[in-house]
Amino acid sequence: QQCHQLTKQNSRLCYSYEVSTNNHRSIAEFVKYSQTEKTSRTCPHCGLYQPVLKTFDEAPKIFVLKCLRDQILLPNKTLKVMIGENAQNIQMALRGIVYFINNNHFVSRIVTANHEVWFNDGMINHGQSRYEDKLANMSVQTLSHAPVTGGQAVAMIYTRQ
């Protein structure tokens, strides 16, 4: 039998999380690691290291993950977050990616509820978004960089499915 300690994140409409390590290849890998992080504390009953489960009281409506400028993390098309004391997994869907290009400009991809991916650069096309493809047809490698300019993804936005 293993003892567990449970900590909860505040329940909010929107939760923003800064990805502060480059030891993970994808956003999903980072979230899974951060929600089951090991601590240096041992359980007074069994003597084992205590994993700390970080869960939400309820799934946030919007979950934003911000990456540091030099981090290269692949976005995931879906993401699981743990909810409640039973650590139930709730799936969230990718809805947007923000990119930083040319050291001075942000552009984005928007994913609609119909899984269409649209690219927007407010400085071109008079602010009109341009249709790219269905999300299922795009690789995570393609999604990790802005089209044409190759700007790096700096934020990924997920919502409940």
DSSP state, residue 74: B
Q: Please state, in angstroms and rounded to a whole number, the distance separating the CA atoms of residues 46 and 6.
A: 16
Average pLDDT over residues 27-39: 63
Average pLDDT over residues 53-71: 73
Question: Is 159 or 148 the better-scoring residue by pLDDT?
Answer: 159
What pLDDT sits at residue 78?
92
Note whether 92 and 59 are within 8 A (CB). yes
| Per-residue pLDDT tens over the stretch 97-106 | 999 888 788 9
Q: Please state, in angstroms and rounded to a whole number, the distance separating the CA atoms of residues 115 and 52.
A: 34
What pLDDT sits at residue 132?
96
Q: Please state, in angstroms and rounded to a whole number, the distance separating the CA atoms of residues 160 and 40.
A: 33
What pLDDT sits at residue 148?
76
Give the mean pLDDT of the chain. Answer: 76
Average pLDDT over residues 109-127: 91
What pLDDT sits at residue 79?
87
Q: Is the pLDDT of residue 139 over 90?
A: yes
Q: Would strands 62-67 and 105-111 be described as parallel, antiparallel, or unpaired? A: unpaired
Q: How confident is the model at residue 77 (pLDDT cuts 50, 70, 90)?
A: very high
DSSP state, residue 135: G
